[in-house]
Amino acid sequence: MDSRFYTFIAGDTGQWKIVAVHVVTGQPLETAPRLDIQNADLREPPTGLRWLLRGVTSNQRYVTRPEQSSLVASQAGLGRPEATCAALIPITKTAAWWLLAQDERRDIFEARSSHIATGLRYLPAVARRLHHSRDLGEPFDFLTWFEYAPSDAPAFDELVTSLRATEEWNYVEREVDIRLIRDDNRVA
Amino acid sequence: MDSRFYTFIAGDTGQWKIVAVHVVTGQPLETAPRLDIQNADLREPPTGLRWLLRGVTSNQRYVTRPEQSSLVASQAGLGRPEATCAALIPITKTAAWWLLAQDERRDIFEARSSHIATGLRYLPAVARRLHHSRDLGEPFDFLTWFEYAPSDAPAFDELVTSLRATEEWNYVEREVDIRLIRDDNRVA
């Protein structure tokens, strides 16, 4: 069985070169030359490690069937040759968010913040994979990985700016925005 | 911060004596004399170990605010002196369940299977704690721990029988029902 676990390793090696680290809210995260992504639940710190973040892909938590169908019809996969730009955005939500009932979180997420509808407007240009980290005891609740072509970088900036202006983002207490470019040399 | 992780350890020691193991659906689980419960993410196998199951308490996934208020108003905590009977029920749901959208799972869970409404009828007699295991890479998706007084054992049997007759249970591919009694001697 394929692993649903992913480990993001910031250090001296990896296919992705870190070009910017912007602390949006809360505690910073150290910068590093490179990011390596392994499809495994890695716990042993590799050499040259600055930090390591773990996450797991999982079932949808808020998406309805019609929304899911729209997403599947529009979205692109990761690894497109032209998608040489990427972003890793780790986020932690507040305790108040996690104490809300499911219907309250859904209302804020979509009815009042249009998270899914906004994301749909940027498909298929922006490909993404969401990793859940909260229940692994990690410092962040979510790690979202995005890939896009250089020509879509302004659209990606518009997307994250839109989301950060929503009611949902009042519940974000930590967010770091890491931008990367693919570089197959794999070393700093 | 208190850990949300719990490890259930079947072996020679522990406060709970295993009195019955009933394989409801799917692969069996070995029986053992005792069950120890540790409020930690234990990974090292202790001596005398038969099996070890890990889970984490988390946010509600299906409950609405009115349902949540009813639950909080009625439910009892774990550790009541009179609640000397317990059950540990590990469950795995099918791949088809996890591919459903959130609204489809909620419809089956409550609108068509009355999972919450049925559970409410047995409060405060039956206290419970739900642990999520699927995203930890564990063999079961959920571990539910129940505590009740001996005089409420028939009511507890009625509760699990009702749930197993629902549409939701068509999506259960593995279930083991482990019954226990408290015994402070802690050894077999």
Distance CA A185, CA A162 (A): 34
Residues in chain A with CB shorter than 8 Å from the CB of B106 are 102
pLDDT for position B126: 98
Structure confidence at residue B183 (pLDDT): 94
Distance in angstroms (rounded) separating the CA atoms of residues B143 and A164: 36
Note the ipTM here.
0.94
Cβ distance A56 to B5 less than 8 Å, yes or no, reads no
- Considering only CB atoms, B132 lies closest to which of A64, A68, A135, namely A135
Contacts A3 to B, Cβ<8 Å: 137
Instruction: Give the one of A63, A136, A137 whose C-beta lies nearest to B101's C-beta.
Output: A63
Report the distance separating Cα A129 and Cα A39, nearest Å: 12
pLDDT < 50 stretches in chain A: none
Helices (H), B14-152: 65-74, 95-99, 102-106, 115-120
pLDDT of residue B48: 82
Run means of pLDDT, 10 residues per run, chain B, 188 residues: 91 95 97 95 84 97 97 97 98 98 97 97 98 97 98 98 98 98 85
Residues of A in contact with B72 (CB under 8 A): none
B132, A136: Cβ pair inside 8 Å?
no
Residue A48 pLDDT: 82
Q: Which residues of A touch B59 (CB under 8 A)?
A: 98-99
User: Which chain B residues are within 8 Å of A139, Cβ to Cβ?
Assistant: none
- B132: which chain A residues are within 8 Å (Cβ-Cβ)? 135
Q: Which of A5, A61, A137 is the closest to B102 by Cβ? A: A61
Answer whether A44 touches B (CB < 8 Å). Answer: no
* Distance (Å) from the alpha carbon of A182 to chain B's nearest alpha carbon: 29
For residue A100, which residues of chain B lie inside 8 Å, CB to CB?
65
Q: Which of A60, A110, A116 to mutate to test the interface with B (most CBs of B within 10 A)?
A: A60
Phi, psi of A143 (to 5 degrees): -125, 115
CA B2 to chain centre: 20
pLDDT, position A43: 77
Please name the member of B60, B68, B135 whose beta carbon is closest to the beta carbon of A132.
Answer: B135
Say yes or no for a CB contact (<8 Å) between A56 and B104.
no
In three-state form (DSSP H/G/I as H, E/B as E, the rest C), the secondary structure along chain A is CCCCEEEEEEECECCEEEEEEEEEECCCCCCCCEEEEECCCCCCCCCCCCEEEEEECCCCCCCCHHHHHHHHHHCCCCCCCCCCEEEEEEEEECHHHHHCCHHHHHHHHHHCCCHHHHHHCCCCCCEEEEEECHHHCCCCCEEEEEEECHHHHHHHHHHHHHHHCCHHHHHEEEEEEEEEEECCCCEC
In total, the C-beta contacts within 8 angstroms joining chain A to chain B are 61
Using the Cβ of B99 and the Cβ atoms of chain A, whether some distance falls under 8 Å is answered with yes
Which of B7, B61, B102, B134 is the mutation pick for testing A, counting most A CBs within 10 A?
B102
The CA-CA-CA angle for residues A183, A77, A69, to 5°, reads 160
Peptide bond before residue A33 is cis, with ω within 30 degrees of 0: no
> pLDDT at position A138, please?
96
A56 touching chain B per CB within 8 A: yes
Tokens of A27: 């505690």
Is A135 in contact with B137 (Cβ distance < 8 A)? no
Pairwise CB contact (< 8 Å): B103 & A65: yes
Q: What is the pLDDT of residue A47?
A: 80
